[in-house]
Amino acid sequence: MLRLSGLGVVGAALAACVAPDGASSGDAGTAAQEPVGIIATTQMPVNTFDNSIERSLEQLPNIALEVNANGWGGGGWDGYSDTLLTRIAGGEQIDVIMIAIEGLGLLAAKNVLVPLDGFIQADPEAEEILMNDVHVTLREMLQVDGQQMEYPFSWNNMVMYYNTAVFEEVGLEPPANDWNWDDFLEACLAVARVTGGADDRFAYSFWGGGMFGMAAWYFNNDTSPLSEDWLESNVLDPKVLETLQFLADLILVHKVAPNPEGWDEWAQFHAGNLVMRTCGRWCIGGSLEADFTTYNIQYQPHQAGPIRTVAGTDGWGISTSSENPDEAWEVVKLLSGTDASLDMVQLGGNIPALRSVAEMPLFADYGPANTALFYETLDFAATVPSPPNFNAVEPILNRNYATIWNGEKSVEEAMQAAHDELVPEMAKLQG
Amino acid sequence: MATADLSAPGGFRRRFSIAHWGIAGREALAGYLFTAPALIGLLSFTALPIVASLVLIFLNYDLLTPPTWASGSNISRLFDDSRMLIIYRNTVQLVAGATFLNNVLGLLLAVGLNRSMPWILRYILRTSIFFPVLTTTASLAVVWRFLLTQDRGVVNFLLGQIGLDPVPWLSSSRWALISATIYDVWKSCGFLMVIYLAGLQGIPVVYYEAARIDGAGRLQQFRNVTLPLISPTAFFAVVISLIGAFQIFDNVWVLTSGGPGDASRTITMYIYEKAFRGFEMGYASAVSFTLFMVLICLTLGQFWVARRWVHYE
């Protein structure tokens, strides 16, 4: 019996060896159709791309697309970049990377991104969109040494969100688009109700230290915490000190702003306990979720120099570790396209890089009355300071800002301490 | 002198056959086999990383590009790092406060719960005190962050109700470390309570009966019977809580992110930041090595001191 079984096995093996060509080629055909796995990672809520994954099944049948979230790592773009690099160093497969200008220099310096110029030149449609439907400022923000490292997807500037109901309640006119710091302070004093009780209402809350949030104030006072080439510390500039003193006074002297450390700006704004906040378009998402509608937006108040708004762009790029860069490029186009942009707009996310989408009526539908302001500012937008060592610079500034907001150090002392830390850090870029 | 003839038929096989090892040999083999998984794990995940870390001290390595020789620069940098001293000072304060309070409170709670009381009350109290241990540190720290926020935080609201000024729990250099200590004690003392409770329940009743016959009051019984007899338990509890306190990371990370400034930054946070935010693996390894030395010295010191106050029956 065993002998018979053995003969059967040998027979089956021989039969397999001499199987007709059609059968084996059919297997090979199945293997060839096996989709290529492409993994994209993003800082946005991953549900932003649920519809894109659905579309990929139809439009890119040879690709199995996965979009996963890359954590903020307890910080902003600095933490995001660190988490991303750690994942890549750990050998994790990441083919397509979303990164903003703040982390782009670091990733480029670490040779994590493939320049996209070759892909773009070989793809006239993508080149046409990039050249004609994306503002030059956004396009150039994602270039390093003249090479396009990311394909722009979305961007943000910082505007002042304000609670229209509270302004009405205290008899204040909506802020004008040329309001200055004095006007802003006047509005703060008018709307704040702070007694240390449960029904406190703060006039304004700002990011404690995020580069993007602080740049919105610095730029409107014609200064920046770094030199124009982002290679040197500029925190001892009198205008930087003036800006910080103005913000510190809101907390410590006028008592119209809370210490931003630990303060939940989102919840308090929607609860009516915070009247004004500086934020980008992504804050609309929270308001949509909370069904909060009594707000509008205005430019940041201005103090000195030309009117400027801070802007930062993000986009999709291809990882040098990707084994399938051609498929990754197809995914980059899918995730940067009109449909993906519309999905983001409807969730209250960033401003789309595609002008054609920003000009659609839908863009205005998902935002406050002044929504047009978002895209209008691009012509006088300045890029958020984003040196390649952004992940080191931002924490240095944050640590030292915190000692101003709690009143433990004067603005001068804190910035001297920051400067002392920044000088050796920035020197690494020059060496 | 007789010698084993390995060339004889069956000689080699007999020499290495387990059947001829004898009982001691077979027991030794079984012992090696049973401990092998643990030993392999220890070598792979503890010993090798320690060796790798020691090597990294002499390299500049950012995880993504090949390492370069750093000579002794990472070590000499330790002596110029003014932040590290501040951070070690914070760590020592946090470790001392958390270890002391965790052990004292754990012991007091255990003594309280070791007394006779209705079983349902004992059950509720034990569960309530132990419950924070079961929950995740980071998620609870998020809750505490909301409770302790200076403006509109629940704790300050309650303080306001009794006429007290708001306390900058998380935003002041003076209070941030205290807040982190309070949180750690709330989170961890239940675990030490259980350890002390087990120690207390292991003390034979006859000692207390003898002490009572000798006229000892409750305090004297505690000092002369309870404390000496739970000293091995206390030694264990102090060692593990001390090492645990040195490893505090996630709760401070969530509560204060180490701020304001560096006011509540601990040495483990600093190592993490240097390694995975600055990608300075060499320097992070050098700082880790200082912590390694501190922990070795402390543990050896504890064993030396323990000879004076730990009494084994």
Q: What is the ipTM of this complex?
A: 0.76
Give how far B236 is from chain A: nearest CA, Å: 34
Q: Quick check: is B52 in a domain?
A: no
Is pLDDT above 90 for A220? yes
- Tokens 């200064």 belong to A223
For helices B82-113 and B119-134, the axis angle rounded to 10 degrees is: 160
| Angstroms from B156 CA to nearest CA on chain A | 9
Cβ contact, residue pair B277, A200, below 8 Å:
no
Residues 6+ apart with CB under 8 A from A149: A104, A107, A108, A113, A115, A116, A142, A143, A317
**B89, B34: one domain:** no
CB B59 within 8 A of CB B67: yes
Res A26: pLDDT: 40
The radius of gyration of chain B's CA atoms, rounded to the nearest angstrom, is: 27
Picking from A89, A391, A408, the nearest residue to B277 by CB comes out as: A391
Q: With cut-offs at 50, 70 and 90, classify the pLDDT of residue A63.
A: very high
* Average pLDDT for B45-63: 93
B138, B4: one domain: no
Å between A194 CA and nearest CA of chain B: 10
At A15 the pLDDT is 39
Query: Is the pLDDT at A108 greater than 80, yes or no?
Result: yes
Considering CB atoms only, which of B64, B166, B257 is closest to A89?
B64
Query: Region A233-241: what's the mean pLDDT?
Result: 97
Structure token pair of residue A236: 């001892």
Cα(A285)–Cα(B291) distance, rounded to whole angstroms? 44
Mean pLDDT value of segment A131-137 = 93
| Mean pLDDT, rounded, of chain A | 88
Contacts of B56 (CB under 8 A, 6+ apart): B67, B281, B282, B284, B285
Residues A72, A210: Cα–Cα separation, whole Å: 13
- Number of neighbours of residue B211 by Cβ within 10 angstroms: 18
How many domains, chain B?
2
Q: What secondary structure letter does DSSP report for A134?
A: B
Give the C-alpha distances (Å, rounded to integers) separating B21 from B9, B27, B159: 19, 9, 75
Q: So what's the pLDDT on residue B302?
A: 86
Query: What are the start and end residues of each CATH 3.40.190.10 domain in chain A?
Result: 34-157+311-383, 159-310+385-430
Specify burial of residue A196 (Cβ count, 10 A radius: 0-12, 13-18, 19+): middle
Task: Answer whether B149 sits within 8 Å of A263, measured CB to CB.
Answer: yes
Q: Per-residue pLDDT tens for A304-354?
A: 998 888 999 999 999 999 999 999 999 999 999 999 999 999 999 999 999
Q: Cβ contacts (< 8 Å) between A263 and chain B: which residues? A: 149, 151
**Low-confidence winner among A258-262, B13-17, B21-25, B269-273 (lowest mean pLDDT):** B13-17
Q: Are residues B161 and B38 in the same domain?
A: no
Mean pLDDT estimate for chain B: 88
Residues of A with CB under 8 A from a CB of B: 73-75, 78-79, 82, 85-86, 88-89, 110-112, 196-198, 200, 202, 258-259, 261-264, 268, 273, 391-392, 395, 398-400, 402-403, 405-406, 408-409
What CATH number does the domain containing B149 carry?
1.10.3720.10
Q: What percent of chain B has pLDDT over 90?
A: 54
Q: Which is the CATH superfamily of the domain at A159-310+385-430?
A: Periplasmic binding protein-like II (3.40.190.10)
The answer as to whether B238 is a domain residue is: yes
Contacts of A198 in chain B (CB under 8 A): 152, 157
Local confidence band at B18 (pLDDT 50, 70, 90 cut-offs): low
B158 and B33, same domain (yes or no): no
Average pLDDT of the segment spanning A203-224: 90
B64: chain A residues, CB-CB within 8 Å: 85, 88-89, 110-112
> Helix or strand or coil: residue A151?
strand
Of B64, B172, B260, the CB nearest to A110: B64
User: How far apart are the CA of B84 and the nearest CA of chain A, in angstroms?
Assistant: 14
Instruction: Single out the residue of A87, A53, A54 nearest to residue A70, CA to CA.
Output: A87
Dump pLDDT digits (tens) for A3-32.
434 434 334 443 333 333 433 334 444 445
- Over residues A230-253, mean pLDDT: 96
Report the SS3 class of residue A193.
strand
- Number of cross-chain residue pairs from A and B with Cβ atoms under 8 Å apart: 90
Q: Which of A74, A88, A89 lies nearest to residue B253, judging by beta carbons?
A: A74
Mark yes or no for CB contact B260/A273 under 8 Å.
no
Shortest Cα–Cα distance, A282 to chain B (Å): 23
* Residues A241-269, mean pLDDT to the nearest whole number: 91
CB contact under 8 A, B149 and A273: no
Residue B231 lies in a domain: yes
Put simply, whether B73 touches A (Cβ < 8 Å) is no
H-helix segments, A222-292? 238-252, 265-271, 283-290
Give the pLDDT confidence of B119-128 residue by residue, as tens digits.
899 889 989 9
Whether residue B260 and residue A402 make contact (CB cut-off 8 A), yes or no, is yes
What is the per-residue pLDDT for A208?
A: 62
Q: What is the rounded distance in angstroms from the CA atom of residue B240 to the CA atom of residue B249?
A: 16
Indicate the range of A22-31, A362-371, A406-415 predicted with least confidence. Answer: A22-31
Shortest Cα–Cα distance, A347 to chain B (Å) = 26
Asked if CATH classification 3.30.300.30 holds for the domain at A34-157+311-383, the reply, yes or no, is no
Q: Which two tokens stand for residue A340?
A: 């993906």
Question: Has residue A97 got a pLDDT over 90?
Answer: yes
- At A328 the pLDDT is 96
Helix%, strand%, coil% for chain A, nearest 5: 50, 15, 35
Q: Which domain holds residue B207?
A: 74-309
Q: How many CB atoms lie within 10 A of CB B4?
A: 10
Cβ-contact A222, A305 below 8 angstroms: yes
Q: Is B160 on the interface with A (CB under 8 A)?
A: yes
Are residues B171 and B37 both part of a single domain? Answer: no
- Residue B15 pLDDT > 70: no
Is B47 domain-assigned?
no
Residue A354 β-bridge partners:
A134
DSSP string, B125-140: HHHHHHHHHHS-HHHH
Candidate from A209-213, B49-53, B206-210, B220-224 with smallest mean pLDDT: A209-213
A422 token code pair = 């920044």
Contact A245, A254 (CB under 8 A): no
**pLDDT value at residue A316:** 97
Helices (H) and strands (E) in chain A, counts: 21, 14
Same structural domain, B27 and B105: no
Residue from A72, A82, A111, A261 whose CB has the most chain B CBs within 10 Å, to mutate: A261
> Does B67 map to a domain?
no
Q: Do B170 and A262 touch (CB under 8 A)?
A: yes
